[in-house]
Amino acid sequence: MANVLFLNGLEDSNRVLIRAVGPRGVAYELHGSIDIHEDLRHPQLKKHLVVLGDVTGGLPQLPRPDVIFNCITDADTSTKALHLAMQVIRQHPGVPVINRPVHVLKTRRDDVAAALAAVPGLVVPATQRIRPTAQREVLDAIAAGPGYPVILRSAGTHGGASMLLLRTPEDAALLDRIACDGSEYYLIRFIDFASPDGLYRKLRLVFVGDQVFARHLLVSEDWNVHASTREGLMAARPELCAEEEAFLTTFGPTHFPPLAERLAAIKQRLQLDYFSVDCALLGTGELLIFEANASGNALRQKHLEKHPYLRPVVQKLRVAVQDMLLREPAPDA
């Protein structure tokens, strides 16, 4: 039996998304944390959840766990909760920690780009964080930094809805869609990763301890690739689902060995235990890195009924995470 303490946290804004209110209580979502504890159901795991936030009264004194899993994952939006998590961890010296907050704090997109830029075999787009108060500041930052074409996205977001692609200075009118009020944005140099057939393919690789798993291969007609393509292009073209299934099935023996050294370098630089990397495999054999952080819950899948080949992928990941928590890890210093 392993007593696992899961740490979630409020965003720095102290906002909570209420999804439903009913007889069983309030269903809420904490942006900036992952709810992986809900997807772990092993009988030998005893789960304890604490939500940390910017409140008065000090931290509770908690019973000593066997393992601490820090599920506060967003270095842009949840810095206060991550520092509180450090305090909780200090209450339990020697207890193993999954995803130490000090390492999560180094996973802002610009920090990750800097950490991975020198890894051979990786293509890491130049990335800059800005806080514009006028559109001209954005244009000046692009000219002095990543250059065109460039992606502009809100900091602290991980979906595809918060991004603009400016291909040339003539696209400046697109900046009318954002608030130049001092909010944080990222400028990310856009590298076209279309395959020879004109389609865009995005991989997600998940790191669990010392293992790496292929989580998905999404194929889209648009550069902004996200899971909805399974209900669109991939649903209309079954051969693309077959391509994804083949990739997920053969990743270990076929694709992993040539990538192993590069993936080990990513893990060594980020120092995380559970995280994912979104990337594309270029025709040159290089990996184009889109993002690398702990903000994805790889055990959650909306498409299992329509795409049953995803089920064993999720199950393998669940077993790997549970094994990571149940084995006797070496105590942290």
* Domain enclosing residue 285, as ranges: 200-326
Number of separate domains in the chain: 3
Beta-ladder partners of 3 = 46
- pLDDT for 55 equals 67
pLDDT value at 147 more than 80: yes
Clarify whether residues 151 and 89 are in a common domain. Answer: no
Residue labelled with tokens 């936030």: 53
> Is 140 a member of any domain?
yes
Do 193 and 149 form a contact (C-beta atoms < 8 A)?
Answer: no
- pLDDT for 29 equals 79
What is the amino acid identity at position 139?
L
> Is 333 a member of any domain?
no
SS (H, E, C) the chain: CEEEEEEEECCCCCCCEEEEEECCEEEEECCCECCHHHHCCCCCEEEEEEEECCCCCCCCCCCCCCEEEECECCCCCCHHHHHHHHHHHHCCCCCCEECCHHHHCCCCHHHHHHHHCCCCCEECCCEEEECCCCHHHHHHHHHHCCCCCEEEEECCCCCCCCEEEECCHHHHHHHHHCCCCCCCEEEEECCCCCCCCCCEEEEEEEEECCEEEEEEEEEECCCCCCHHHHCCHHHHCHHHHHHHHHHHHHHHHHHHHHHHHHHHHHHHHHCCCEEEEEEEECCCCCEEEEEEECCCCCCCCCCCCCCHHHHHHHHHHHHHHHHHHHCCCCCCC
Render pLDDT for 160-210 as a digit per residue (tens, 0 to 9).
Answer: 778 999 999 999 999 999 999 999 999 999 999 999 999 999 999 999 999
Clarify whether residues 209 and 253 are in a common domain. Answer: yes
- pLDDT for 110 equals 97
Cα distance between residue 267 and residue 212, in whole Å: 10
Domain boundary among 189, 215, 230: 189
Phi, psi values for residue 332, rounded to 5°: -80, 150
Clarify whether residues 182 and 285 are in a common domain. Answer: no
Cα distance between residue 223 and residue 280, in whole Å: 11
- pLDDT for 306 equals 83
Q: Residue 333 — very low, low, confident or very high, per pLDDT cuts 50/70/90?
A: very low
Render pLDDT for 114-137 as a digit per residue (tens, 0 to 9).
Answer: 999 999 999 999 999 999 999 999
> Is 167 a member of any domain?
yes
Count of beta carbons in the 10 Å neighbourhood of residue 156: 22
Render pLDDT for 79-98 as a digit per residue (tens, 0 to 9).
Answer: 999 999 999 999 999 999 99
Clarify whether residues 38 and 147 are in a common domain. Answer: no
Cα distance between residue 19 and residue 28, in whole Å: 5
Clarify whether residues 213 and 320 are in a common domain. Answer: yes
> Is 109 a member of any domain?
no
Token digits of residue 170 = 């003539």
Least confident of 58-72, 246-260, 318-332: 318-332
Clarify whether residues 220 and 309 are in a common domain. Answer: yes
Render pLDDT for 276-310 as a digit per residue (tens, 0 to 9).
Answer: 999 999 999 999 999 999 998 899 877 777 889 99
Beta-ladder partners of 241 = none
Q: Residue 331 — very low, low, confident or very high, per pLDDT cuts 50/70/90?
A: low
Domain boundary among 99, 115, 142: 99
Query: CA-based angle 227:231:232, to the nearest 5?
Result: 100
What is the amino acid identity at position 278?
D
> Is 114 a member of any domain?
no
CA 260 to chain centre: 20
